[in-house]
Structure formats: C-alpha cells, structure tokens
Amino acid sequence: MADVTFLFTDLEGSTGLLERLGPAYEEVLGDTRRLIRAAAAGAGGREIDCRGDELFVVFERPEAGVEAALAAQRAFVGHPWPGGAPVRVRMGMHTGTATVSGEGYVGLDVHRTARICSAGHGGQVLLSQAAQELVDAPMRELGEYDLNGLNEPERIFQLLADDLPQDFAPLRYAKLHTGKPLRIVLADDSVLLREGIARLLEDAGFEIVAQSGSADDLLRHVPMHRPDAAIVDIRMPPSYSDEGLRAAQTIRERHPGVGVLVLSQYAEPGYALELLSDNAEGVGYLLKDRVSDVEEFAAAVRRVAEGGSALDPSIVQMLVGRRRKEDPLEGLTPREREVLELMAEGRSNQAVAERLFVTLRAVEKHVTSIFTKLRLPASSEDHRRVLAVLTYLRS
C-alpha cells in the first residue's frame, strides 16, 4: 500500500443554513460540492465519497491536496451565495496508508483525517504532522492534541494564506496533549473499596495523590494537592447521611477547577439534581456498581477531570421519567431525545455515534438541531452542551 494524502471537507453550520434558507439550501449544497470538486480535479484529486455536506478526496501528492484546499477556500470567499449567507467549509488533511475496499478507502489513517477535519472551523484547513512534513507551504503549529476515538495524539498545523482568514477559535473536539497523568483524590470510608478503586485508576494511567476516610480529611487534601478531580462517597462518617455530597459541593464552590465525581450505593436523583444546581461542568454522579466496568469508569473519571460530566444512566432515566407540566423538549424528534439523553450521561459526540450506530457527522447535526430548538444562546459548543443537559434534567 502506497502513501496517499486524504482530504476531508465538511460544511459548517449546515443545519442552521437549511433552516434559514429553506429550499435555497439545495443550491448552496450543490455549489459547495461543485467548487470543491473543481478545485480537487484541477489538482489531480480523486473523489472517494460524498455524503450530505461532506466530501472525501484522495491525492497522490500532498502538495496537490494543499493546492486543492486553498483553491476551494478562495472560491468559497468569492462566490455569490444564495441569500447572501456566508458559507464556510472546514477541511482536514493527513498523509498515510489505507486499504482499498469496494466502498473506497478504509483504515485508521482515514479516521484520523476525519477527526482532524472535525476539529476545525469553517474556513480553516488543518494538517497532520505527516502531511505538513511533506509540503512547503506557510503553516502555523497549533500543538499536539488528543482527538476523539484515537489512542495516539496528533500534532496539528493550520495552513496559512495571506488572502484567507487566519484566526480561528480553539479546536473543537480536541484537547491539548500534556503527557501528564490526571491527579485524583479519593474519599471513601471503606479502605478495601478505596484501595481497589485506586489500583484500577493507577492501572488506567491516573495518579492517586491522596486518599481520605472522611469528608473533613478530604477537604484538607484538595487545597493541599490541587488534584484534577476528587472521587467522593456520598455517605461518610460520622452520620453516614450526605457528608460526601456536602463536601463535593464545598469543593465545587471553593475550587471550581477541580472536578467532582460522587459515588453512591443507591440511585438518588434528588442528590444528583442538588449536585447539578449550578452547572454540569466537571461533575459526575455514578452508582458504585459502575466501577466494575473499568474502561467505562475510567472514561467517566477522565471526562469529569477534564471539565465534562458523567451521570449514571439509571439516574438519567429516573430524572427523565418524571411527569412534566410543560415540556421544553416536546419539539425534539425521538432521535434527538436519544442523543440528548446520552449527552446527559456525559458522552462525547463520538461515543453517542458509537452507541447509536450512526456517523459522527449525524450526531453533530442532531446536537446542532437540539441547540436551535432549545433556543440556547450562541456561545461555545461546550457551554451550550451543558445548558442543553440542564434543561433536559431539570424540566
């Protein structure tokens, strides 16, 4: 298998364009495809796949991929779009190998290219290090990132041109790779359970910086060690009622940069709502039974430590099953409700796609539609995601 250069393109904000333009959206989509295809063909590219507003093209030479990407972006800027709506396309490039099948190219390098494209913004062209090293063109190094669904980090570069936009928001669905393990503080009065969790997390690559047997001791350890997250048993000495929950709330108030994951023996949705009273960033609530699924548990701890959320599916089901006088979610389709329910559990778009057996792009479209229907204010993707989850759970 010879090395080739993959180019993925994706129309930004397609759902919003469709709602705003109505029937004229078909013309926008057609023009977008035509301009990309013309640029790709002019550089010797070969179209492999076209799904909705996405295109997948392969080039024998990486320089040709760069030439096509720049030509297409320039064509977008100068094109008279219907309704005067700005149309922006994100692009991702990677040079690697893949197996040719009856449906096109398959392999990890194809997935890597798609993830690089998904991380960008409309008008932005991103390249992997493998592609960047093979072309002589102005670049800006953005750093090394962990991409959804990929085990190895990727060093990403942005292609630059004087006549095209160069400043964009931070990458989407990507986290800067630090190489340092996440630091965790554990609090549980059961030494056996505490040591077991510590061993599981250490084997999964976390660093356990302190362990506590009481809520008071936990509150001393957090400012002392400044962990990325604290894992707290909800019932702790002396009364074994809600000392852990109170400690978790104190940590969220005093140390907002520390994620808090509460563990409970029983499903208590009232406690979950209390924990979510302000926001769902860096917070989790899981049943202790979930610890036995090591991979899922480690993923939940990581999400919370990195500012995401993790709610036990049984808690989500109990909260969603409540009677609602006025349901703000009544405008959502059944599939959008499924997506939002999995979002409430703290799952990423990639994880939602895998659970529902749909493409990542399909999930992104559902998420955008959810934001629109819930009338969430335009802000960062992560902030609107939190607002959507809180609307879902509190209604």
Cα 201 to Cα 191, 225, 389, distances in angstroms? 15, 17, 27
Cα 16 to Cα 11, 81, 114, 373, distances in angstroms? 11, 15, 22, 11
Q: How confident is the model at residue 330 (pLDDT cuts 50, 70, 90)?
A: confident
The highest-confidence range among 137-151, 203-217, 347-361, by mean pLDDT, is 203-217
Nearest to 206 by CA among 239, 170, 231, 189: 231
Higher pLDDT, 110 or 205: 110
Distance of CA 67 to the CA centre of its chain: 30
Work out the burial of residue 71: count CB atoms within 10 Å of its CB; fewer than 13 is exposed, 13-18 middle, 19 or more buried: middle
DSSP-based three-state secondary structure for 221: helix
User: If you ran DSSP here, which 8-state letter would residue 201 be given?
Assistant: H
Contacts of 330 (CB under 8 A, 6+ apart): none
Q: What angle do CA 383, 185, 393 make, to 5 degrees?
A: 35
pTM above 0.85, yes or no: no
C-alpha–C-alpha distance, residues 45 and 8, integer Å: 12
What is the pLDDT averaged over residues 259-273?
77
Q: How confident is the model at residue 234 (pLDDT cuts 50, 70, 90)?
A: confident
Cβ atoms of residues 231 and 197 within 8 Å: yes
DSSP-based three-state secondary structure for 319: helix
Residues forming beta bridges with residue 386, ordered by sequence position: none
Q: Give the length of the chain.
A: 395
Q: What pLDDT, on a 0 to 100 scale, did the predictor assign at position 230? A: 94
Helix boundaries (H) for the chain: 14-21, 25-42, 62-78, 108-119, 129-132, 191-203, 215-225, 243-254, 269-275, 294-305, 313-320, 334-344, 349-356, 360-373, 381-394
Average pLDDT score, the chain: 84
Q: What residues does CATH 1.10.10.10 cover in the chain?
A: 324-394
Q: What residues does CATH 3.40.50.2300 cover in the chain?
A: 183-318
Q: How confident is the model at residue 320 (pLDDT cuts 50, 70, 90)?
A: low
What region does 130 belong to: left with phi over 0, alpha with psi -120 to 50, or beta?
A: alpha
Q: What pLDDT, on a 0 to 100 scale, did the predictor assign at position 212? A: 93
Cα 60 to Cα 34, 63, 207, distances in angstroms? 21, 9, 45
Work out the burial of residue 178: count CB atoms within 10 Å of its CB; fewer than 13 is exposed, 13-18 middle, 19 or more buried: exposed
What CATH topology corresponds to 4-176? Answer: Alpha-Beta Plaits (3.30.70)
Range of weakest confidence among 16-25, 131-140, 368-377: 368-377
Q: What angle do CA 30, 35, 40 make, to 5 degrees?
A: 125
Q: What pLDDT, on a 0 to 100 scale, did the predictor assign at position 272? A: 66
Q: What pLDDT, on a 0 to 100 scale, did the predictor assign at position 125? A: 97
- Domain range 324-394, CATH architecture: Orthogonal Bundle (1.10)
CATH number of the domain at 183-318, out of 3.40.50.2300, 3.40.50.11860, 3.30.70.1290, 2.40.50.1020? 3.40.50.2300
Over 80: is that where the pLDDT of 375 sits?
Answer: no
